[in-house]
């Protein structure tokens, strides 16, 4: 059955590629100035991979973006998950923090970019800050909901066993909330990529977003597509790694195994 | 030692005035090593009685005490077996049983010995490293009972522990509990809505009224059990066939039925 799924997936990817070729190279229905043909794409990929573009090779740009995403993501979850757990566990903490959260939350993360650049310039710091703001929210909300949704008897069982406070948090509450926490982490990772590329588009000296920005100024559709595809592949790869971690961490969870 | 005492206990849910009165003037004493079952119509507050002894819920009036000390919070001297097992799904069977011992700061060697004993007692030795989701409901409840027993609690609180099990597993677990009570007698407060189960297991059965729950009568089972020597019979169905058993069961049934009839159910 899994084999069948894979074949169907490969089939639909092949169909999209064929459609692409058909609309560009084969019929000329979409002009090369609007959307690159497979050949344009290949040439652009070849150029950035071997000779470089926008001040560096593809690997260097990709590495720069991955580095910032990972750093911003780690900072965001290292602060967001504990805060969410705390708000879930302590009603007073929730009552105090939630109003602030409700005001800050509707501000789109991208709206922080000007302020971040003003404070920290075009370097890495501003981007990490913006990713932090964007990726923080889903981590907090899902960790919070994870704690609130724990079956009451699980907590009561731990209490009647005389479980001390710290052990209750690390061995009962955190694992019980873990499936929801991981949902938050996946959303945070997604938000990290979205905001990073946007931040790099606005102001950067390297990275995939910077490549996209330069390619737009050079009116270079082939390179734009290379940048987009690279973001897609990198986003998929980091999500895949997170999925591996999740499967290891939640091996006990039948529902999570799917 | 493990005695439980309800002294003029009321419980009101919601605001103190205008809330729902769940329990009204509960008075009950359970002696050391005595097995008392509470039966009653659903919603009568029998589980609330247990939860107050466990320390999960405070009484609105009156005092719930264990060994003469008022209950204020949950603790390992009052082990609870929950209807839905409430095992930690991320911990193996062994780790589930061991947690309470770790909380008591017992050294590793001592813990290992006690866990091994509990596993043997509940016939779980071959499942020590399994996770709860890999076990059947009956096996999971064995783990929960082992987790409670290993604490060597003064009282054991069982909240419809077999309510989530299928009929056959239920019978096996009931026989198992009788065996346990002989090997290792405890003070037990057992909540159930199954009348046969209560009569088969308990020394005394307390019958509760509908909400607001009151204790309507308390029947002495032990004297009948001893006089008619129920314990000669290994199997539950043989005990349930005895005239003395049927008589007690019918008596409780009628008492419960009056409760329902009074409200036109």
Question: What are the tens digits of pLDDT across the range A191-212?
Answer: 999 998 888 888 888 999 999 9
Interface test with A, best of B86, B147, B152, B156 (most A CBs within 10 A): B86
Q: Is B82 in Cβ contact with A151 (below 8 Å)?
A: no
Q: How far apart are CA A17 and CA B215, in angstroms?
A: 76
Alpha-carbon distance A133 to nearest alpha carbon in chain B (angstroms)? 32
- Chain B residues whose beta carbon lies within 8 Å of the beta carbon of residue A172: 88
Whether the pLDDT of residue A255 is over 60: the answer is no
Nearest chain B residue to A178, by CA: B90
Confidence at A215, pLDDT banded by 50, 70, 90? very high
Distances (CA, A) of B28 to B6, B157, B201: 5, 15, 18
Q: Is A154 in Cβ contact with B103 (below 8 Å)?
A: no
Nearest by CB to B88, from A156, A159, A172: name it: A172
Q: Is A160 in Cβ contact with B80 (below 8 Å)?
A: yes
pLDDT at B261: 53
Q: Is A178 on the interface with B (CB under 8 A)?
A: yes
Q: Is A167 in Cβ contact with B89 (below 8 Å)?
A: no
Nearest chain B residue to A159, by CA: B74
Q: How far apart are CA A150 and CA A157, in angstroms?
A: 12
Whether the pLDDT of residue A129 is over 60: the answer is yes
pLDDT at B175: 87
Alpha-carbon distance A100 to nearest alpha carbon in chain B (angstroms)? 30
Q: Is B75 in Cβ contact with A160 (below 8 Å)?
A: yes
Alpha-carbon distance A249 to nearest alpha carbon in chain B (angstroms)? 9
Nearest chain A residue to B84, by CA: A153
Q: Is A166 on the interface with B (CB under 8 A)?
A: no
pLDDT at A258: 41
Alpha-carbon distance A192 to nearest alpha carbon in chain B (angstroms)? 29
Tens of pLDDT, residue by residue over B198-222, are: 999 999 999 999 888 999 999 999 9
The mean per-residue pLDDT over the stretch A52-74 comes to 93
Q: Is B90 in Cβ contact with A167 (below 8 Å)?
A: no
pLDDT at B142: 92
Q: How far apart are CA A131 and CA B181, in angstroms?
A: 60
Q: Is B191 on the interface with A (CB under 8 A)?
A: no
Nearest by CB to B82, from A153, A163, A252: name it: A153
Q: How far apart are CA B247 and CA B242, in angstroms?
A: 9
pLDDT at A257: 44
Tens of pLDDT, residue by residue over B88-124, are: 999 999 999 999 999 999 999 999 999 999 999 888 9
Tens of pLDDT, residue by residue over B180-200, are: 888 888 899 999 989 999 999
H or E element that contains B70: strand B69-70
pLDDT at B265: 41
| Top-level class of domain B1-75+166-173+196-265 | alpha beta
Q: Is A162 in Cβ contact with B104 (below 8 Å)?
A: yes
pLDDT at A178: 94
Alpha-carbon distance A98 to nearest alpha carbon in chain B (angstroms)? 25
pLDDT at A1: 59
List the structure tokens of A104.
Answer: 């800050």
**What ipTM does this complex have?**
0.90
Q: Any idea where the domains of chain A sit in the sequence?
A: 1-30, 33-257
Interchain CB contacts (distance < 8 Å): A and B: 67
Sheet with B187-191, edge to edge strand ranges: B78-81, B155-159, B187-191, B35-39, B204-208, B215-220
First to last CA, chain A: 14
Interface test with B, best of A146, A157, A248 (most B CBs within 10 A): A157
Nearest by CB to B74, from A151, A160, A171: name it: A160
**Helix, strand, coil fractions of chain A, as percent rounded to 5:** 80, 0, 15
Alpha-carbon distance A66 to nearest alpha carbon in chain B (angstroms)? 32
- Chain B residues whose beta carbon lies within 8 Å of the beta carbon of residue A160: 54-55, 74-76, 78-80
Taking Cα atoms as reference points, which of A203, A199, A225, A217 lies closest to residue A48? A225
A33-257 — its CATH code?
Answer: 1.10.3720.10
Tens of pLDDT, residue by residue over B138-171, are: 999 999 999 999 998 989 999 999 988 888 888 8
CA dihedral sign, ordered A154, A155, A160, A164: positive
List the structure tokens of A146.
Answer: 């994870």
Q: Is B63 on the interface with A (CB under 8 A)?
A: no
Q: How far apart are CA A40 and CA B143, in angstroms?
A: 65
pTM: 0.83
Q: Is A252 in Cβ contact with B131 (below 8 Å)?
A: yes
Instruction: Tell me the residues of chain B between 139 and 178 that have a Cβ less than 8 Å away from chain A.
Output: 147, 151
- What percent of chain B has a predicted confidence (pLDDT) above 90? 66
């Amino acid at each position: 059955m899994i084999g069948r799924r894979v074949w169907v997936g490969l089939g639909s990817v092949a169909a999209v590629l064929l459609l692409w070729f058909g609309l560009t190279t084969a019929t000329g229905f979409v002009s090369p100035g609007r959307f690159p043909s497979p050949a344009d794409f290949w040439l652009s990929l070849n150029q950035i991979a071997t000779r470089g573009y926008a001040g560096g090779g593809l690997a260097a740009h990709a590495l720069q973006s991955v580095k910032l995403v990972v750093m911003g993501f780690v900072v965001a979850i290292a602060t967001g998950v504990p805060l969410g757990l705390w708000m879930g566990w302590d009603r007073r903490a929730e009552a105090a923090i939630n109003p602030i959260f409700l005001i800050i939350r509707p501000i789109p993360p991208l709206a922080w970019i000007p302020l971040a650049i003003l404070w920290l310039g075009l370097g890495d710091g501003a981007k990490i800050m913006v990713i932090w703001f964007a990726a923080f929210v889903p981590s907090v909300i899902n960790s919070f909901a994870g704690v609130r949704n724990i079956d009451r008897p699980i907590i009561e069982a731990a209490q009647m066993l005389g479980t001390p406070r710290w052990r209750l948090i690390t061995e009962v509450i955190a694992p019980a909330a873990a499936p929801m926490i991981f949902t938050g982490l996946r959303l945070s990772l997604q938000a990290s990529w979205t905001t990073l590329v946007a931040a790099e588009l606005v102001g950067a000296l390297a990275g995939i977003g910077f490549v996209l920005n330069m390619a737009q100024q050079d009116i270079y559709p082939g390179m734009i597509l290379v940048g987009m595809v690279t973001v897609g592949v990198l986003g998929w790869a980091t999500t895949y790694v997170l999925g591996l971690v999740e499967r290891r961490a939640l091996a006990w969870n039948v529902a999570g195994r799917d | 030692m493990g005695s439980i005492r309800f002294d003029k206990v009321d419980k009101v849910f919601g605001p103190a005035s205008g809330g729902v009165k769940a329990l009204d003037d509960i008075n009950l004493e359970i002696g050391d090593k005595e097995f008392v079952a509470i039966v009653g119509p659903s919603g009568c507050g029998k589980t609330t009685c247990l939860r107050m002894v466990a320390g999960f819920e405070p009484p609105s009036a009156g005092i719930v005490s264990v060994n003469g000390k008022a209950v204020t919070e949950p603790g390992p001297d009052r082990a609870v077996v929950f209807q839905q097992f409430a095992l930690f799904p991320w911990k193996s069977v062994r780790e589930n049983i061991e947690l309470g011992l770790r909380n008591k700061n017992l050294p590793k060697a001592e813990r290992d010995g006690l866990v091994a004993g509990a596993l043997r007692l509940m016939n779980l030795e071959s499942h020590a490293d399994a996770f709860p989701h890999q076990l059947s409901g009956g096996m999971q409840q064995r783990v929960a009972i082992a987790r409670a027993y290993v604490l060597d609690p003064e009282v054991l609180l069982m909240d419809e522990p077999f309510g989530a099990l299928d009929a056959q597993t239920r019978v096996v677990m009931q026989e198992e509990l009788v065996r346990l009570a002989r090997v290792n007698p405890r003070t037990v407060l057992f909540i159930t809505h199954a009348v046969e189960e209560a009569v088969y297991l308990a020394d005394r059965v307390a019958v509760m009224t509908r909400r607001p729950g009151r204790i309507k009568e308390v029947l002495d089972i032990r004297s009948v059990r001893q006089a008619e020597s129920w314990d000669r019979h290994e199997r539950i169905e043989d005990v349930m066939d005895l005239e003395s058993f049927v008589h007690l069961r019918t008596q409780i049934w009628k008492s419960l039925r009056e409760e329902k009839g009074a409200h036109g159910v």
